[in-house]
Structure 1
Amino acid sequence: MENFLLSLVFGVIGAVFGSFAVAQVWRLRAKQLQDEKASGEKIDAAEWKKLRSLVSVSQKNDRSHCLNCGYQLNWYDLAPIISWLSLGGKCRKCHSKIGVTEFLTEVSMFVLFAIIFLIFNPISNGTILVLPAIRFFILLTSLIPLTIMFIYDAKWSLLPTKLLYAFNILAFIYWATGFLAVSGGFKLISALNIIISMALFPLIYFVLAKVSKEQWVGGGDWILAFGLIFLLPNHPVFAIFLLFLSNVVGLFFAVFQSILYFRKVKRGTQIPFGPAMILAALVLVVFQQEILLNFVNLMV
């Protein structure tokens, strides 16, 4: 019962960070449009008009507001999930649609934070285990840039560089602390495992990106792959699973896109691959114990 209640608490925290993540997506997009406009590139005038208010004030003075009418949101408008449902997904003042992205992100982060607590709960017999707790909070923190990148790449086919590196640093720390939490220190087999894992996925994508001049694989995808490998158990089999599952999810996204927009996905059409990789990695993170047990049983 205690674990269930704590999972709900972490779920609420996740929903709050989900709301934060979506807000950052729009701010990043506004900054990108501002930079492109300043460099003379052609931008969507309607989109810039809608988002330019996000870069016209400093972060210190910036308050959440409706992008359509400018209405500044009160605290009760910011309650994750609840406020969206109570207002029917519309602005309280102008009644323009807020969009389903915000709602789905908050719900998804609620579920993810709750599930990750139940799986990686660092509390044992009333005692907080230090290293597992550190890894637990690093894992939760890494979900924030992953969520932002998932949405951003899905909408505009771009993975923000700074977020990629921030996520990779978090993921590396998570992997490095795994040495201490699992084996009590560095072991050669652990180093070999991570090298093989990197060769099986990120390095392959790096080569494909360079050979195709980023036509087959985006420049950000192979960088993201490095971080995702660090989040998974330190065994090459997970790199293989990630490579396979990412492509399966990517294919599903392509089929879904063709159905949603009633058009055939032509050969050579570029489809954002970052969301597929992120979703595949999260599935493997959540089900890693089951995968390890089944893999061990097959090997015995």
Structure 2
Amino acid sequence: MDPVFLAGQLFTGLSVASILLLAALGLALSFGLMRVINMAHGELLMIGGYLTYVAAQHMGAGYLWLAFPLAFVGTALLGALLEATIIRKLYGRPLDTLLATFGVSLILQQAARQMFGSTGVPVTAPAWLSGAFTVHGGALDGLTFPHVRLFVIALSLIVLGAVWWLLNRSRFGMHVRAVNQNREMASALGVNTRWLDMLVFALGSGIAGVAGVGLALIAPVNPTVGASYIINAFLVVVVGGVGSVLGGAVAALLLGSVTALAEGLTSVSLAQAILLVLVVAFLQWKPKGLLPTQSRALEEA
């Protein structure tokens, strides 16, 4: 096998894994704390991509400075609204929550079609991200690393580090971990669990919006782009271990690499089938995932 092709596919897989990780972080937070399966999470990623497109249309070359806060705040507010109006009324009813959020996802997709059309809208990367590093000489001669994909990888690492710090070094994170371990006891000790649920859901939604910014830089944004990522994002959460940030990072890297290699050697549809078979086989071996979070609530679920 050509080493340049193999290395190129692995690098592509790493950049795809970066988007998957950002999409899965929000799912891990919401399901780990509230046991909510949010089928509209992919559409939050889509909205982040469209907000990036809007920022690029109005700001020109410096649009990224607006795109990141716009995508994060916009999707976080939408997530908070979704939690307050729909999901909060369906806690403890996972099937109803799944169906309700699936309906929301269809509504958001149709709204995107009405506003932006059914075809993808391209976002041109800034000039400082338009180049690429090229390897000269050796076994990997000619291998290129586009700056925009390197930027997306760096973005995911920064967000991952920020989320890890927030959950493990801040008072907010202490409350999240306390509620995750024992909601009733945390509430008895003064934690406002209702308010925390909304904040965590909004944070996860905002991270999905940031993932949409990264996605818009490497591929056109269309109304169904979120649906194409949501399944793999759920796979990342399950394989990594529900509620585990580090486990999600490792799972995203593994699944992204496997998907990229399988697509390079076979086809997109067959690669997805191979990935699903491997995930099922893995869960037979480790049903709680790579790095499961110890939680009384999860054990009782």
Q: What's the TM-score once normalised by structure 1's chain length?
A: 0.28
The structure carrying a bigger helix percent of its residues is 2
Relative contact order (C-alpha < 8 Å, sep 6+): which is higher?
2
From the CA coordinates, give the structure whose radius of gyration is larger: 1
